[in-house]
Amino acid sequence: MRRTIADVQKMKRMGERISMLTVYDCASALIAERAGVPMLLVGDSLGMVMLGYDTTLPVTLDDMVRHAAAVTRVSREALVVGDLPFMTYATTQDAVISARRMMQEGGVQALKLEGGAAVLPQFRRLVELGIPVMGHLGLTPQSQHQIGLRVQAKRAAEARRLLEDALALETAGAFALVLELVPAPLAEAVSKHVSIPVIGIGAGAGCDGQVQVWHDLLGLFEEKTPRHARRYASIGTAMENAVRAYVADVRAGSFPSAAQSTVMDEAELAAALD
Ligand code: KIV
Ligand code: NA
């Protein structure tokens, strides 16, 4: 049985911390589910880690739908949340059109939108239409040219605004909230002030859960791991070593061996070459 937003909200009430992880394709979705991740995010971070862009801004709704569909075709257990990408929910009408595609074609169970007060009408409309929506406050990478890529809400005025946004999103019907790159004590306070689950990234251990990017967690890009990430494996190096071994075997003529090849009746071959 697939997890629901009610299951995730119950985890908060029970004091059970929630892990969330980004996935972008069928292999990662299957692995994450086998490992017991209750909530998967098809994040627009795919722009950087899958598509080679510098930011999330060039990511299109088509990109999101394609990757979300790859995940939801194989996923059975986790609650799958999909990001609406940059400029696809600027108006309430845009949000409705984008949401339809992510839900129907992408197959996700919930959506995530960046922003606070400015996107409340979009939240209310999507919730009215029966769509679970997750908020995203603090560092919102789609606004990076305006706010930078640094820790947000270190000062009282901005921190107060963030708390107000969190409460407003809860009132608008958000089922959960991501807090990205904000001071740990503020994230903990917000988690206590709202009743919906607060999922942190670079926001300390006081949140109701944590979200991480697949490639950061597994060390796919050896040279760049953000400070907020803990690298649980060095998969990039493991992959490189495997590919090196393959290249060496091909060069040496030791791949493929008989086990990976098919035999042929000698008479058939002789007749063919005659
Ligand atoms: O796109 C993403 O991966 C995200 C998480 C970092 C929360 O939005
Ligand atoms: Na995102």
pLDDT one-digit tens code per residue, 80-109: 999 999 999 999 999 999 999 999 999 999
Question: Max Cα separation, the chain?
Answer: 87
Q: How far apart are CA 61 and CA 71, in angstroms?
A: 15
Tell me: is residue 54 an annotated ligand-binding position.
Answer: no
> What average pLDDT does range 49-63 have in this prediction?
98
N- to C-terminal Cα distance for the chain?
61
| 174 close to 128: Cβ distance less than 8 angstroms | no
202: left (phi over 0), alpha (psi -120 to 50) or beta: left
- Kindly tell me the sign of the dihedral angle through the C-alpha atoms of 142, 148, 151, 155: negative
**180 pLDDT more than 80:** yes
Angle at 92 between CA 137 and CA 172, to 5 degrees: 50
Tell me: is residue 62 an annotated ligand-binding position.
Answer: no
**Domain regions of the chain by residue span:** 5-233, 238-273
107-135 confidence digits (pLDDT tens) = 999 999 999 999 999 999 999 999 999 99
Ligand 2 centroid to 47 CA: how many Å? 9
- Closest listed ligand to the CA of 215: 1
Whole-prediction pTM? 0.97
| Strand extents, DSSP E, the chain | 18-22, 39-42, 79-83, 110-112, 133-138, 176-180, 198-201, 209-212
Identify the three-state secondary structure at position 138.
Answer: strand
- Residue 34 makes CB contacts below 8 A (sequence gap 6+) with none
| 225 close to 231: Cβ distance less than 8 angstroms | yes
pLDDT of residue 179: 98
**DSSP assignment letter at 51:** T
Q: Which of 25, 48, 134, 180 to mutate to test the pocket of ligand 1 (most atoms within 8 A of CB)?
A: 180
Q: Which of 18, 48, 81, 213 to mutate to test the pocket of ligand 1 (most atoms within 8 A of CB)?
A: 213
**224 pLDDT more than 80:** no
Ligand 1 centroid to 207 CA: how many Å? 16
15-53 confidence digits (pLDDT tens) = 999 999 999 999 999 999 999 999 999 999 999 999 999
> Phi and psi (nearest 5°) for 138?
90, -130
For residue 16, what are its two tokens? 């059970």
pLDDT of residue 223: 75
Q: How many CB atoms lie within 10 A of CB 216?
A: 21
16-25 confidence digits (pLDDT tens) = 999 999 999 9
Catalytic residue among 16, 77, 105, 180: 180
> What average pLDDT does range 183-191 have in this prediction?
98
Tell me: is residue 44 an annotated ligand-binding position.
Answer: yes
Considering only CA atoms, which residue is closest to atom 1 of ligand 1? 43
Give the CATH fold of the 5-233 domain. TIM Barrel (3.20.20)
- Is residue 180 among the annotated active site residues? yes
**67 pLDDT more than 90:** yes
pLDDT of residue 222: 78
